[in-house]
Amino acid sequence: MGSIFSKKLPVLPPTVILPFTPCQSERGCGACWDFAAVASVETLLILEKGISKRLSEQYILDSVAPGDQNVDSCTGGSCLQVLEFIMQNGVPAEDAYLTYSALKHSSNLSAAPPTEFCKISAVGKLTDLSPELKESILKIPLQQGFPVCITVKPSDQFMKFLNTPETKLFGLDPPISSFTYKNPLVQNKFHSILIIGFGKDANNNEYWIIKNSWGAQWGFNGVARIVMNMNCLGIVDYLGSACYPTGVVILPQSGSISQRNITDRNSDGNLLQHTPYTPSPTGLYTLTSVSSAPMEKNSKTKRGERGNKRERTKKELENTKRSKR
C-alpha cells in the first residue's frame, strides 16, 4: 500500500466540525474500537446521503473477532479491521438488528439476520510513518470530509474528564506533563476514539474535536476538545493506527437505513445538518484510498467520482514531469 498523504500541509480552514450522531456508551465491554469505527461510518452516511441513522455496534461485536477467533470481542479490537469488514460485508441499522448489550452473541447473527446493509467503498490509512511526521497531518482527511479513527493512550485525567464545559480544552489544565496512568482501567491499555474536527481557541491553542464512547457524562455530552501538537494521549505515537472510511453505499436501499431520519440530534442538542459537506479544494494535496472493494456500477458516490478525477489529474502531472525530463 502506498502513502496517502503528502508531507506538506495545504492551507486548511481554521475550523472543521463534521456532523455526528449522539454519543453512546460501550459500558463494561472494551468495544471502543467498534464504536469509533461504526461512528465514522455514521458520520459519512450523514455527509454523503443526508441520512442520520444509528448503525449496529452489536452486529460488529457479534461478527468481528479481534485476531484470534476464540478471543472475546470485549477484550479489544481494531478500527481498521471493523472498517475493512464493513467494506466487504456491510453493517445494518441498529433498529434492524439488536440493541447493544455489551456482550458478544454470535448466535444473534442467525436469530435476527438483517436484510439491508450500509457499506463503504474504501478504507484510507496513513502509511508514510516517517519520524518527522506531525499529528497535524490528520487535518487533511478531516478537511476532505473523512472522520478519523485513531488509537490513543488514555490517562487517569482523561477518564475523569466528566461533565465539562464545551469550551474546556483537555491537555492544558492539568498539563500533559502531569498525566498519570495508575488507574487499572487505563494502565497498559489503549483506547480508540473518533476525531470529527479541529479548530483554534481565543488563545490560539489548536485542538482536535473528538467523539468518545463513554456516554454523555464524559466530556461535554460525550465530545471533547483536546490540545493539538503536544502529542496529547500519544496521538503522534499511534499515527499508524489512523484510518477512515470513504464512499457510503446502501444495499439494497429498501429498509430502515434508507429511511431518512432528521430528528436525531448532535450532543449539543442542535439538529444534525443534512446539507452535504463540501470540502475546499486542496490542489495537489489530496488523498488516495489504499484499499477498496468492488462495488456495483450504479453505486458510485459523488466523492468517489471526485476521487477518480483527482487520481487522473495526479497521473497527468506525473506524465508531464516525465516528458520534461
DSSP state string for 52-91: ---B-HHHHHHH--SSSTTS-GGG---HHHHHHHHHHH-B
For residue 74, what pLDDT band results from cuts at 50, 70 and 90?
confident
More confident residue, 11 or 158: 158
Q: d(Cα 100, Cα 91) in Å, to the nearest integer?
A: 14
Q: Which domain holds residue 306?
A: 16-149+233-324
Closest CA to 173 of 186, 160, 187: 160
User: Which of the listed ranges 6-20, 57-71, 85-99, 274-288 does the model predict with the highest average pLDDT?
Assistant: 85-99
- Letter string b/e over residues 153-190, b meaning 16 or more CB atoms within 10 A of that residue's CB: bbbebbeebeebeeeebbbbeeebeebeeeeeebeeeb
Q: What's residue 310's pLDDT?
A: 43
**CATH label of the domain that carries residue 90:** 3.90.70
Least confident of 131-145, 147-161, 178-192, 224-238: 178-192
pLDDT at 13: 63
Q: 234, 51 in Cβ contact below 8 A?
A: no
**At 126, phi and psi to the nearest 5?**
-80, 115
> Mean pLDDT score of the chain, rounded to an integer?
76
Quick check: is 198 in a domain?
Answer: no
pLDDT per residue as tens digits for the range 222-255? 999 999 999 999 999 999 999 999 999 888 866 7
Output the pLDDT for position 252: 83
Residue 222 lies in a domain: no
pLDDT in tens, 20-56: 999 999 998 989 999 999 999 999 999 999 999 999 9
Residue 165 lies in a domain: no
The answer, yes or no, to whether residue 11 has pLDDT greater than 70, is no
User: What is the rounded distance in angstroms from the CA atom of residue 184 to the CA atom of residue 189?
Assistant: 9
Grid cell 452516511 is found at 45
Pick 19 or 269 by higher pLDDT: 19
Does residue 99 belong to any structural domain of this protein? yes
Identify which has the larger pLDDT, 292 or 245.
245
The single-letter DSSP state of residue 320 is H
Residue 190 covered by a domain: no
Task: Give residue 40's pLDDT.
Answer: 97
Residue 27 within a domain: yes
| Position 301 pLDDT exceeds 70 | no
Asked if residue 21 lies in contact with residue 43, where contact means CB atoms within 8 angstroms, the answer is: yes
Query: Over the stretch 118-131, which tens digit does the pLDDT of each residue have?
Result: 999 999 987 666 76
Instruction: Determine what percent of the chain falls in helix, strand and coil, rounding each to the nearest 5.
Output: 30, 20, 50
Q: Does residue 118 sit within a domain?
A: yes
186-230 pLDDT per residue, tens: 666 899 999 999 999 989 999 999 999 999 999 999 999 999 999
Higher pLDDT, 281 or 154: 154
- 8 A C-beta contact, residue 209 and residue 196: yes
Percentage of the residues of the chain whose pLDDT score is greater than 70: 69
Beta bridge partners of 244: 124
Q: How many structural domains comprise the chain?
A: 1
Cβ neighbourhood burial of 27 (10 Å; 0-12, 13-18, 19+): middle
Would residue 219 count as lying in a domain? no
Class of residue 281 by CB neighbours under 10 A (exposed 0-12, middle 13-18, buried 19+): exposed
Contacts of 279 (CB under 8 A, 6+ apart): 143, 144, 145
Closest by CA to 267, choosing from 19, 15, 99, is: 19
pLDDT at 172 over 80: yes
